[in-house]
Structure 1
Amino acid sequence: MKISALMLAGGQSKRFTGIKQLADINGQPMLLRTLNQLTGSGSLCTLLSEFNVILGANAERISPVLPHYVTAHLCSDWHKGMGATLAFGVHNVNRESSHLLVTLADQVALGREHMETMLHHCESAPNKIISASYNGILGAPVIFPRCYFAQLMTLQADSGARKIIQQHIQEVVSVDLPDAKYDIDTQRDLANWRQSAD
C-alpha cells in the first residue's frame, strides 16, 4: 500500500474571528502543532507516500509556519467550501497512491498514536473506508481506498467527505476515536479546549 495524507487548512474561519490556523496553542501556531502531534514531528511520514497541506484563505501568512515534511498546495476555490478544497486536494494526490488519509487542521487532540491506529485498520481491511467515530458520528480522520477518489473529486461547496462515508456506509470500518470530537471553530471552543487540556 502507498498511503497519501492531506490536511485541510484552507478555510477562512469566519466564526473564529481571526486566522484559526495561526491561533497560539502552547507557543505554537495551531496548524503546526496539529501537524507535529499527528505525525510525531514528521516521523509518521516514513509510513506515508506524501503529506500534503491544502491552503486557501490567508495562505501567504500561514505557509511560513509549515514544517519541512509537508508539501503545501494552494486551492484557489477555497471560498467554495470544504468539499471544493478536498476535491482539489485529491486532484493533487500522487498517482501511485492506493489510499488517502484525510485530516483536519483543527482536530487538536489527535496524535500519532491515533493515526497509527487508523493505518493499522487500513492494512487489515484495505478495501474499506476507515473512519473515525466520535459523538455518534463518522468523520475525519478518514482513509479512502483509491476506488473512491473519483467521487471525492466531485465534491463541491461545504459537502465534505462525510457525504461519501454515508453513501457507502456498508463499506465503512468505524474506529472509536473520542479525541476526534475536539475541533476548534470559535474562540470559545479554543478556550474550552485549553481548559480541558490543563
Structure 2
Amino acid sequence: MEHILIKTAALPLEGIRVVLPQSNPKLKQLTLHYPCQPIENPTPHLGIGNSIALAIQTLPLSAKAALILLADQPQIHTEDLNHVLNNFQRSYEPKQTLIFQTKYKDGQMGHPTLFSRSYFQQLSELKGDVGAKNIIQRNQRYIIPCESRFESPPDIDTPDDYRRLLREGG
C-alpha cells in the first residue's frame, strides 16, 4: 500500500481516500504520513466493490471524478497515473460520461482507472468482489483507453507474490 501512497502523494490530486480493514490499525497508522483520508471498512470480506462504494460515498459534491487504484499493484507507474489524469483534464466537461482506463502494452486494460462524476451513483452501490468491472463492461462506448508503454503490473495477493516481487527487484 505504501508504494501507491508515495506515488499518489506526488500527484496533483485532492481528497485521496484509502480504504482499510477496520481491524488493521497498523495500516491506518501508516496513512497518517501521507495526504490522504483513511476510511475504515468494517466489512472487508464483502469484497472490493464494497470498498470502492465506501470511498465514493465519502467524496464531496464538488468532486469531478474518482481515480481508482489498487494497493495490491505496487508496480503501477506514475507515468500511467499522470497519463490518465492528463487525458481527463484535457477532455473534462461538466456532466461528461467517460471512463479513462489504462491500456497496457500487453493489451490488458486495468488500473489506474478514472470515472467521471456521472458514475458515482453506480460506484457507490457496488458490492461483491468484482469491483467496477460490470460498470466498465456496460459502458464500453464511453471508455477512453490511455495507452501505457509498460506491461500490466501483477497483483501482489499472497506472501509468495510478495517474495517474487522482492526477488525481481520490484
Whether 1:149 and 2:120 are equivalent positions in the alignment is yes
Whether 1:99 and 2:65 are equivalent positions in the alignment is yes
Q: Tell me the distance in 1 between the aligned counterparts of 2:19 and 2:117.
A: 19
Q: Tell me the distance in 1 between the aligned counterparts of 2:26 and 2:68.
A: 23
Q: Point out where structure 1 has 5 or more consecutive residues left out of the alignment.
A: 1-30
Q: Which has the higher strand share?
A: 1
Residues paired across the two proteins, number? 163
Match of 1:131?
101
TM-score (norm 1): 0.75
Match of 2:23?
58
Tell me the SS of whatever aligns to 1:104: coil
Whether 1:49 and 2:14 are equivalent positions in the alignment is yes
CA drift at 1:48: 1.8
After TM superposition, the structure 1 stretch with the greater mean CA deviation from structure 2, 174-183 or 135-144, is 174-183
Write out per-residue CA displacement over residues 75-99 of structure 1, whole angstroms, 9 at most, x where no aligned residue. Answer: 2222211111111111011221011
TM-score (norm 2): 0.86
CA drift at 1:61: 2.3
Q: For residues 117-128 of structure 1, what are the structure 2 equivalents within 5 Å?
A: 117-126=83-92, 127=96, 128=98
Match of 1:173?
144
CA RMSD of aligned residues (A): 1.8
Whether 1:196 and 2:168 are equivalent positions in the alignment is yes
